Amino acid sequence: MKLVDVSAFCGSWPFRDVQRTAAELKSDLQKVGVAHAWLTHIEGMFRPDPTHDNEALLNEVKGDGFFSYLAVINPAISGWERQVERARELSFHGWKLSPNYHGYDLGGDAATTLAKIAAESHVPLCIQMRMQDERGQHALMKVLGVPAQGIVELARKVPSAQIVACAPYLSELKILGQAPNVWSELSFCESGQSLNDALKHVPANRLLFGSHSPLHYPAAAAAKISGGIDISDEVLAQVAEGNARDLIAGR
């Protein structure tokens, strides 16, 4: 079964030796059946203005149809609209927010305005809820996850936005499933039957495959889509690739 990975990263993570170029990441993902990946530059989450990292990502992968490239946007700084203008000018396929690393609340006016622009631009707005399990974070850099309720409230304010919750825990799907314009990927959803349990809270047409590679092992993520108890081939295909292809196409 082909997989579309909506949560992959290149660049350097400061707390573990997991640096990957886009080419290295592509090789890792293809080995587990990934046919396409949405890619973000990790380092954009650590700079107030991520434009440089967005452009570095674009220069690395442009022309490679394996990737859709996501621009990190930080609406917490003055003139953030220029980041959006640049992302639109360069035809990024989606935009990613990192409220906890950039230090803002999704309930603010800027996040709402940005969600409206994303809806008008027909691009998915990905919200990175966490980069690491909070229990395994560096002792001097504890970063709380983005509250699921805040994502739902933003989605309700802007019902035309297509919002992707990246890296939610399984327990947070109960909240995220309440908003019909929020999709959730499965990289941090862990149980004996991750997909079966996720489907109890979020319908199949709003679940996505995500590996969180290279911070997570892609083979472990792919195993979640290998089947389950009474899960049809149609549902597997939706979660594995169909939903992601529809989102990135603006459908």
Q: Check residue 228 and give its pLDDT.
A: 62
- Would the pLDDT of 24 be above 80? yes
Average pLDDT, the chain: 93
Q: Check residue 191 and give its pLDDT.
A: 86
- Indicate the CATH number of 3-248 among 3.40.50.970, 3.20.20.140, 1.20.1420.20, 3.30.360.10: 3.20.20.140
Kindly report the pTM of this predicted structure.
0.95
Q: Enumerate the H helices of the chain as residue ranges.
A: 22-30, 51-61, 81-89, 99-102, 109-121, 148-157, 173-176, 194-199, 218-223, 233-237, 243-248
Strand order across the beta sheet in which 207-208 lies: 3-10, 34-41, 67-72, 94-97, 125-128, 163-166, 182-185, 207-208
Residues 134-184 pLDDT 10s:
887 777 788 889 999 999 999 999 999 999 999 999 999 999 999 999 999
Spatial contact of 4 and 34, defined as CB atoms under 8 Å apart: yes
94: which residues sit within 8 A by CB, 6+ positions away? 38, 68, 70, 71, 123, 124, 125, 126, 164, 248
What DSSP line would sit under 86-117, residue for residue? Answer: HHHHTT-SEEEE-HHHHT--TTSHHHHHHHHH
Q: Which of 159, 185, 156, 155 is nearest to 172 (CA)?
A: 185
Spatial contact of 128 and 98, defined as CB atoms under 8 Å apart: yes
Q: Check residue 124 and give its pLDDT.
A: 98
Residue 81: helix, strand or coil by DSSP? Answer: helix
Q: Check residue 142 and give its pLDDT.
A: 84
Q: Check residue 147 and give its pLDDT.
A: 97
In this structure, what is the dihedral angle of CA atoms 156, 159, 164, 170, given to the nearest 10 degrees?
A: 40
Cβ density class 214-231: b for 16+ within 10 Å, e for less? bbbebeebbebbeebeeb
Domain locations along the chain: 3-248
Strands 163-166 and 207-208: unpaired
Q: Check residue 83 and give its pLDDT.
A: 96
Residues 198-230 pLDDT 10s:
999 999 999 999 999 999 999 999 999 876 678
Q: Which residue has the higher pLDDT, 13 or 236?
A: 236
Residues 54-67 pLDDT 10s:
999 999 998 899 99
Cβ density class 17-40: b for 16+ within 10 Å, e for less? eeebebeebbebbeebbbbbbbbb
Specify the DSSP element, H or E, that contains 183: strand 182-185
How far from each other are the two terminal CA atoms of the chain, in whole angstroms? 22
**Residue 122: which pLDDT band, with cuts at 50, 70 and 90?**
very high
* Beta bridge mates, 244: none
Q: Which of 165, 195, 216 is nearest to 32 (CA)?
A: 216
